[in-house]
Amino acid sequence: MSHAPTNPTTPTGSGHQVSGHAGALTPVKRPQDLTPRAIVEELDRYIVGQKAAKRAVAVALRNRWRRQQVPPPMRDEIAPKNIMLIGPTGVGKTEIARRLARLAGAPFVKVEASKFTEVGYVGRDVDSMVRDLAETAVSMLRDEERERLRPRARDNAEERLLDVLLPPAPRARPAAIGVPSQMPPPPAPEPPSDNATRESLRKLMREGKLDDKMVEIDTADSPASFVDVFSGTGMEEMVLNLRDMLPQGARKTKRRRLPLPEALEVLTEEEANKLIDVERLQKDAIRRAEQSGIIFIDEIDKVAGREGGGHGPDVSREGVQRDLLPIVEGSTVSTKYGPLKTDHVLFIAAGAFHVAKPKDMIPELQGRFPIRVELESLSDQDFVRILTEPENALTKQYTARLATEKVTLEIHDDAVAEIARIATEVNARMENIGARRLHTIMERVLDDLAFEAPALGQTTIPITAAYVRERLDGILKDEDLSQYIL
């Protein structure tokens, strides 16, 4: 088991799903710099243990770069080696795939295989995961383009704001047609004085001296059409056809009254969107999704049942597998940004496989996941590392939260060891949910303190092993109660 450094930037080990932009983003490195060893070292900063899984995904990612260096005739013949991660919940399966995608700057989509067995799906719309991948790729490239074009967009936004603060002088009205002008034309206005005022306003705005000023601006107003409302409901084919048939109406504007800094940000976003070449962006997004996209199929074991007596849920499960097969093998899926080929998309499947086994999947789908890695259950030593090593570990989060009430938490090492021991014990006695158990136990240990903190005033509270046992012993001894609380 590899050792993580003392200052990683996100919680590790649990594989708990987090929002796409939570925490500090890992800077995307050049593809040639992402050697398997470098990838594993980067993953070690975020995920405790699971060396075999890290090695497998690192090699898979490096193989994508190697394929790009192969001459074209052979390049198209090299298919990605899809991976199946086998292990209980809460050991880092999802987090490994998510961190890998973020490290490579690749479009990433996580789907639940079990959703395709729900009423109304029954495996008939598995290609919606590919459409989600296209959406993710377009959103990713749009963000990159906005960032690249931001300096130009900000200049344009400043000009629009200056036009609001200092409206241009009205133009002279032209003489009526056919009527000779009796008066000589008025002299042209002197631009230097206006320019000087404009530049002085620009300087004040950049120095923040106009931040308290309210301005009225016109911004684009694009309410969602009824076509967008039906997107993602299993009716994508119909939506795509309707979008082509219906005319695109003119964009409306909406007047808004905002503080100047907020108005500047709104106008900067709007100007950046105007500068983006949408057609080129969509083509580049489809190409990136095809060449470097990653689709993570979670709970694949839930659809691993084989057809038994011709009735019951097993028929649906095998149907889902058969519909997944062409997507994983390589097919072309229609998206609203154009056709997307899945031949070189990397698929990572994951499941606990407590009941069903990988051999219960249909043989064709088994063969499409040649790399299989079994993840280890987390030990109490792993829990200790998860609680203490990351920069935003759980213990540090609780300490920071209570510090806002002027309550200083001193969590001793023996308390961390006791929490880890109890988490291991509860996971062994009940359902093993991995590092997610730590959240439940920490909440229970600090529940009273969180409630009483506002009334305590400025104080320091030591959290020791004895304190942890005092808060949890009664629950641990009552088998029935612990099943509900822990």
Q: Is residue 274 part of a domain?
A: yes
- Contacts made by residues 236-241, CB under 8 angstroms, sequence distance 24+: 236/125, 236/128, 236/131, 237/334, 239/336, 240/334, 240/335, 240/336
Q: Is residue 78 part of a domain?
A: yes
Q: Is 385 left (phi over 0), alpha (psi -120 to 50) or beta?
A: alpha
29-56: average pLDDT:
83
Of 357, 374, 391, the one marking the end of a domain is 374
CA distances from 477 to 129, 151, 414, 469 (A): 46, 63, 21, 11
| pLDDT above 90: percentage of residues in the chain | 14
Say yes or no: 348 and 389 in one domain: no
For tokens 């689709």, the residue is 295
- CA-wise closest residue to 205 among 159, 168, 247: 159
Work out the pLDDT band at 8, boundaries 50, 70, 90.
very low
Say yes or no: 366 and 391 in one domain: no
Structure tokens at 70: 């192969």
Rounded Cα distance between 87 and 93, Å, is: 8
Q: Is residue 109 part of a domain?
A: yes
Question: Residue 259 forms beta bridges with which residues?
Answer: 214
Say yes or no: 124 and 104 in one domain: yes
Say yes or no: 316 and 229 in one domain: no
Q: What is the pLDDT of residues 360-371, one digit of tens each?
A: 888 888 889 998
The range of the structural domain enclosing residue 455 comes to 380-485
- Residue 214, pLDDT score: 83
Burial class (CB in 10 A: 0-12, 13-18, 19+), 440: middle
Task: Output the 3-class SS for 101-151.
Answer: HHHHCCCEEEEEHHHHHCCCCCCCCCCHHHHHHHHHHHHHHHHHHHHHHHH
Give whichever of 121-130, 205-214, 314-323 has the largest mean pLDDT. 205-214
Q: Choose between 398 and 256: higher pLDDT.
A: 398
Work out the pLDDT band at 186, boundaries 50, 70, 90.
low
Of 283, 310, 331, the one marking the end of a domain is 283
Work out the pLDDT band at 123, boundaries 50, 70, 90.
very low
pLDDT at 330 over 70: yes
Rounded Cα distance between 384 and 391, Å, is: 14
Q: Choose between 18 and 407: higher pLDDT.
A: 407
Say yes or no: 100 and 160 in one domain: no
Task: Determine the length of the chain.
Answer: 486
For tokens 């029954």, the residue is 122
Q: Is the distance from CB of 137 to CB of 285 less than 8 angstroms?
A: yes
Question: Residue 338 forms beta bridges with which residues?
Answer: 335
Rounded Cα distance between 24 and 27, Å, is: 9
Q: What is the pLDDT of residues 245-258, one digit of tens each?
A: 555 555 677 788 88
Structure tokens at 427: 């996971």
Work out the pLDDT band at 135, boundaries 50, 70, 90.
very high
pLDDT at 302 over 90: no
**Other beta carbons within 10 Å of 162:** 17
Of 228, 248, 283, the one marking the end of a domain is 283
Say yes or no: 338 and 456 in one domain: no
Rounded Cα distance between 218 and 121, Å, is: 43
Q: What is the pLDDT of residues 460-482, one digit of tens each?
A: 999 999 998 888 887 776 655 55
Number of domains in the chain: 3
- Residue 173, pLDDT score: 55
Say yes or no: 252 and 366 in one domain: no
Q: Choose between 367 and 231: higher pLDDT.
A: 367
| Mean pLDDT lowest among 65-79, 203-217, 265-279, 282-296 | 203-217
pLDDT at 293 over 60: yes
Q: Is residue 117 part of a domain?
A: yes
- Residue 6, pLDDT score: 37
Structure tokens at 315: 């028929």
Structure tokens at 125: 């719309």
Q: What is the mean pLDDT of the chain?
A: 78
- Residue 168, pLDDT score: 66
